[in-house]
Amino acid sequence: MAEKKFTVLDLLELELQGHDSLNLKCIAGRRGLTRPLIVPDVNRPGLALSGFYEAFAYQRVQVFGRGETAYLAKLKNEGNSENIKKLFTYQVPCCVFTHRLEPNKEFLAIAEEANCPVLQTDLESSDFSSRLLRVVSTVFAPHKTMHGVLVEVYGIGIFLSGHSGVGKSEAALELVERGHRLVADDIVEMRCVNGNTIIGQGANNQISHHMEIRGLGIINVTQMYGVGAIRNQKEIQLVVNLEEWDSQKVYDRIGTDQKTVELFGVKVPMLEIPVKPGRNLPIILEAAAKNERLKRMGYFSARDFNQNIIKWIETGEAQAVYYSGDDFY
């Protein structure tokens, strides 16, 4: 099944807030709102308007700032509309006028005839371009959905994986109760941004902050614990695989060998934590988050412990303790 195209209309309908808001509205060419955005980049069409169309990056969003708008006014005064008509012979996805600028009626008429959307924003050109690039880089980033729970613990994004019924949601609920934050439960959508950062969020914004607890049912974390108990998205910095305790399996007890899992070619630290009655998973996950933060600060407790043991052995103190034991013959 082919992936759904991202269109100009999709760009207008994005629910963006704060520093991501684009403040866009359509002022002409509504029939072309279904045009797809193919290249996640912008272009300033000054050279094209002057007649130079070689290497014209027509597949990008065309941004018209004060300079381009002033040049359009100059072309109108000169009665020269040929270069404008030629611009719209290309399949331009849309034109965006920044600074709340409005093109002349002739430009709008040509765009309308070509079914090319003309958008307007009150943002400055540089600000709009940086915001748009940030937004479309996320939209066009490689992505996939995975079964699991994503929580933020002490600032570390932890993705909990494991078989159904192993206790992922219950552990996440206890973490929320202890003051940490839920990002998504059950289905997590992951995106690789900038080639080295894995961002996770709920696959559906309407249900991502709900949790299914067996024996209790569906609960709304936002309503029960407040908006401080949730996040819309978070970088995945640690993957924890929960599995039922296997007495035949040898689990890592030192932690000197750091396991990783590849997500979109990015290696993310990974832990395997066995689950059985009596183990307090939330406390273990809190310790794992703190330990991961220490590693990112340059302190690796397991390797430090190992080096201290080696130094202790090299000093001869270990041999003295061993040979002085009461059970030595």
Segment 202-208 long-range contacts (CB within 8 Å, at least 24 positions apart): 202/232, 203/145, 205/15, 205/232, 208/183, 208/184, 208/232
Catalytic residue, candidates 35, 60, 131, 168: 168
Active site residue 253: yes
| Amino acid (one-letter) located at 54 | E
User: Among 270, 279, 250, which residue's Cα sits nearest to residue 167?
Assistant: 279
Catalytic residue among 186, 191, 210, 234: 186
Whether 147 is catalytic is yes
Asked about 311 being catalytic, the answer comes back as no
Which of 5, 66, 147, 214 is catalytic? The answer is 147
Could you say which of 249, 253, 257, 276 is catalytic? 253
25 among known catalytic residues: no
- Please identify every residue annotated as catalytic: 147, 168, 186, 253
